[in-house]
Structure 1
Amino acid sequence: MDRTVKYNWFAKVYDELMDDSLYPKWAEYTSQYLNKDQHILELGCGTGILALELTKAGFDITALDLSSDMLSLAYDRQLESGIKFPLVEMDMRNLSELESFDGIICYSDALCYIETEEEKGRIFSEVYEKLNQDGVFLFDVHSTYQIKEFDQFSYHDEVDGIVFLWDSYPGNKDDSIEHQLTFFVEKENGQYERFEEIHKEWTHSLDMYTELLKKAGFKTIEITADFGQKVNNKSKRWFFAAKK
């Protein structure tokens, strides 16, 4: 299959799976800690939806992702919208080649794709080194409660000739989950071609995230849940605002 065609159907499915209402909330959360004249780096930008929204709102943002496919979709969004911002293909575990920033953000549970505490701690250290004095690191992760809620989750739907199945199962260690995504993409002859992807996510306790942030050097750490709510035992998403 032509890669451009693959991008097109994957974009449709990715955007269908994502809740559009979350992007304005992430933008609002960002604006609570960062001003529009500050330079921001987004880690795990995906298809660039949030970076585009933040740029429209006047923020100066650079968007980074490890996936060239995702960045290609983000570039297509730039062409369609006429709005440009720097796109960087890079592993968030090594930011040494980048300049410094006033703020670094990482949403949509992107950090949950990093398996171990050690790897997350390395990312926190990289972020700390790339922040200017008084810089802020904003990110969210799945709570341990949400990971358990994903167990046996199943969602099936169809959009524009693409049938997709999303089924989740317990992962290979505590507080982990595996999402099996199956796509049936309609071809010109009316037949369907099958594709599969496995997405693995891991989270850790609140205490572990706090410990890793402090070890990286962050002095002030504010923790909330679900876009401004107080943390409780059924919070789905934890938010961290860590100041250098």
Structure 2
Amino acid sequence: MTRDTASSIDPDEVAKFEAMAADWWDPKGKFKPLHMLNPCRLDYIASQIATEFGRDLRNEAPFKGLRLLDIGCGGGLLSEPMARLGADVVGADAAERNIPVARVHAEQCGLDIDYRHTTAEALADADERFDVVLNMEVIEHVAEPQAFLQTCHSLLKPGGLMVASTLNRTPKSFALGIIGAEWVMRWLPKGTHDWHKFITPDELFGMIEKTGLDPVDRKGMVFNPITWRWSLSSNDLSVNYVTTSLRPN
């Protein structure tokens, strides 16, 4: 039986990001927070993939032979560096206007990335399977987080790895992620995030375990307003955090 291919899609959330599509590659535009966060995210993702698959990041194209899905790829801020590292990348986004933006930028950079206007459910129903699934800053925008994570499980090959990041539901995340980023700094349009949809690390680990994946790591991503840089933290998961999970062989 084919699952409802739109089950994880919240049309209002898709519309928000479609309205911002042209700004993806402007480091001073609406996606400035992601541009600032990207080096921290990439360090974590690359190290987790390298560890799990025994790859040496000092080599040229260390991820060659790995098939990777970037769910909610947006303009390709993660897809492009993964392709540069040698991965065979599929970038998927439910916001149709994001895909041409991503395709044009990848072509300008000489990168071969398979960008698709599609959903995780549609990919799973087509029996697509991946060594790595990147699920970054997506789950707080979907309609049914548990169903979405179950789909991510089905998209992974046995022995595959999922990296997922989101925002914790704390008073601090409301102060920084919504009041600070949307209301004061105006890095994002008001209403980009709904604090009530934020998920605590324990809640996310519980949902991941329920799918049959094995959560093996979690780290906080912490912004330093003095150095104006992000860094990983083993202790502070109070706002942004990232997790790694494995599908057993």
**TM-score normalized with structure 1 length:** 0.71
Whether the 8 Å CA contact 1:210–1:221 is kept in 2: the answer is no
* Alignment gaps of 5+ in structure 1: 1-5, 157-164, 168-178, 181-197
Q: Is structure 2 residue 68 aligned with structure 1 residue 53?
A: no
Gaps of 5+ in 2: 1-19, 51-62, 222-230
Helix, strand or coil for the counterpart of 2:125? coil
Alignment of 1:138-157 (within 5 A): 138-145=163-170, 146-149=172-175, 150-153=177-180, 154-155=183-184
Q: 1:218 aligns with which of 213, 222, 242?
A: 213
Distance (whole Å) between structure 2 residues aligned to residue 101 and residue 16 of structure 1: 27
Matched with 2:245 is 242
Cα separation, partners in 2 of 1:82 and 1:166, compared to 1, 3 Å: closer
Question: In the alignment, which of 44, 55, 69 is matched to residue 29 of structure 1?
Answer: 44
What is the percentage of aligned positions where both structures have the same residue? 13
SS at match of 1:134: strand
CA contact (8 A) 2:168 2:240 kept: yes
TM-score (norm 2): 0.70
1:179-237 CA-to-partner distances (Å, cap 9, x unmatched) read: 52xxxxxxxxxxxxxxxxx42432122221111111100134322211541133x6321
RMSD: 2.5
Aligned length: 198
Change (3 A) 1:56 1:15: farther
Report the residue type matching 1:240 in the other structure.
T
Deviations 1:11-53 (A, max 9, x none): 5475653342422322221222224031110111000122112
Bigger RCO of structures 1 and 2 (CA < 8 A, at least 6 apart): 2
- The reply on whether 1:18 has 2:44 as its aligned counterpart is no
For 1:239, the aligned partner's letter is V
Deviations 1:117-137 (A, max 9, x none): xx1111111111111111111
The structure with the larger Rg is 1
Q: CA deviation at 1:59?
A: 2.1
| Structure number with higher strand proportion | 1
Q: For residue 128 of structure 2, what is the amino acid of its counterpart?
A: E
